[in-house]
Amino acid sequence: MPAMDHIRYLAETIGPRGSTTPQEAEAARYAARVLQDLGLEPVTEPFTSARSAWYPYVLFTGLALLAEVLFWAAGRTGAMVAAVLTAVALASVLLELAFRSNPIRWLLPKGRSQNVWARRLPSGEVRRNVVVMGHLDTHRTPLAFSTDRWVRLFSRLVPIGLASAVALLVLFILGAAVPGPGLLWQLLSLPFALVVLGVFLITIQADFSPYTAGANDNATGAGIVLSLAERLSWEPLARTAVWLVLSGCEEVGCYGAEDFARRHRSELGDAVWITLDSVGGAHSSPAYLTYETFLLTVPSDPQLLALAERIAARHPEWDAHPHHFRGAYTEGSIAAKYSFRVLTFTSHRRDGVLPEWHRPTDTVDHLDPKVVEHTEAFVWELLQELDQEIAERG
């Protein structure tokens, strides 16, 4: 079955597939059926995940605003409590942005999700493992992503909000430590508190918005994984085992990728990890990430990048290009955290925009099937090259 057929089933027959929802679970069951029909032995692995991508930042900004109230209302004692609250909130949100455990994450509402994976063994001895991953869940459609202008505004507001929280922390410490000019510190805190309030209002709005159908993000990635599974069933690689993974809960902090990497780290060894995320947007072309930057900057594997560049040069008709993804993440960040060799594919436009990102318009009629086809062809050739590389080593 072509990738586009899987994409239509996920985005139209199932529709919006929010993290930890019954629809996400239905998409996982669909993936398992497809893999089983291809003669594979799919494994469904449940895990616990946060339900929202936005709650951590609502809690962070909410605690900072509570600290501001205490700063004004309770004198030096309030300033001391405010400093502690803000320090904990700031440390927690920085850890959250780095995909690390933290006190805010412990407080988040949780739900159950699942990964579905199957392994296609090579025709010969296994000499290399490659993970090909696409997530099944979809995001909400918040105001912050409603237009390209809003995306740019929000991407600038987030670091300003973090810097404002740091400034508030400094003023709270001064208010607690330096007797006398308390009113001065309070007045100076107001502009920073207003910035934090703006971030709070934007982030709390997000969870009142509906889920997107997620045709591009990420029925396209999942559809290509399922299509590659079929191709590998009649054309297995010679020495490379391919782990075909349909993950859950990417949109709320890559909980599915984290669970898969943690469970299978020892089995996978120095595996190559290929992430497919939003790979069919209209007016775009295949993009392979050189870096992705959320809080930390995660570089792609240099050898994989060099191989991608050679493949792109051989196929100018695909219009494939390198891209540096800023202000967001993919499951490649988790692969790098566990020291796998990472390469991620998206479908950014040449101006850097990811089409229909987290919008109600992320539907099948806003996809370009040619971009899906070219991305799948690119990944297939990459797999062939990696397998040939192993053969040449003897």
**Predicted pLDDT at 311:** 98
**Predicted pLDDT at 172:** 96
Q: What percent of the chain has pLDDT over 70?
A: 99
Q: What is the pLDDT of residues 159-189, one digit of tens each?
A: 999 999 999 999 999 999 987 677 899 999 9
pLDDT surpassing 70 at residue 59: yes
Chain centroid, CA 161 distance in Å: 21
Q: Are 258 and 99 in contact (CB under 8 A)?
A: yes
**Predicted pLDDT at 394:** 58
| Average pLDDT estimate for 152-163 | 94
Q: What is the pLDDT of residues 214-246, one digit of tens each?
A: 999 999 999 999 999 999 999 999 999 999 999
What does the DSSP assignment read for 179-192? -S-HHHHHHHHHHH
Beta-strand runs (E) in the chain: 43-50, 110-120, 128-135, 240-247, 272-276, 287-293, 297-299, 321-326, 341-346
**Predicted pLDDT at 178:** 85
Q: Are 372 and 226 in contact (CB under 8 A)?
A: no
Does 181 or 74 have the greater pLDDT score? 74
**Predicted pLDDT at 179:** 73
Q: What is the pLDDT of residues 244-258, one digit of tens each?
A: 999 999 999 999 999
Identify the band that residue 195 occupies on the pLDDT scale cut at 50, 70 and 90.
very high
Model-level pTM greater than 0.85? Answer: yes
**Predicted pLDDT at 2:** 94
Q: Are 217 and 282 in contact (CB under 8 A)?
A: no
Q: What is the pLDDT of residues 271-325, one digit of tens each?
A: 999 999 999 999 999 999 999 999 899 999 999 999 999 999 999 999 999 999 9
- Averaged pLDDT score across all residues of the chain: 96
Tokens representing residue 57 in the block: 């930042």
Q: What is the pLDDT of residues 348-383, one digit of tens each?
A: 998 889 999 999 999 999 999 999 999 999 999 999
Separation between Cα atoms, residue 62 and residue 46, nearest integer Å: 31
Q: What is the pLDDT of residues 99-148, one digit of tens each?
A: 999 999 999 999 999 999 999 999 999 999 999 999 999 999 999 999 99
Q: What is the pLDDT of residues 198-218, one digit of tens each?
A: 999 999 999 999 999 999 999
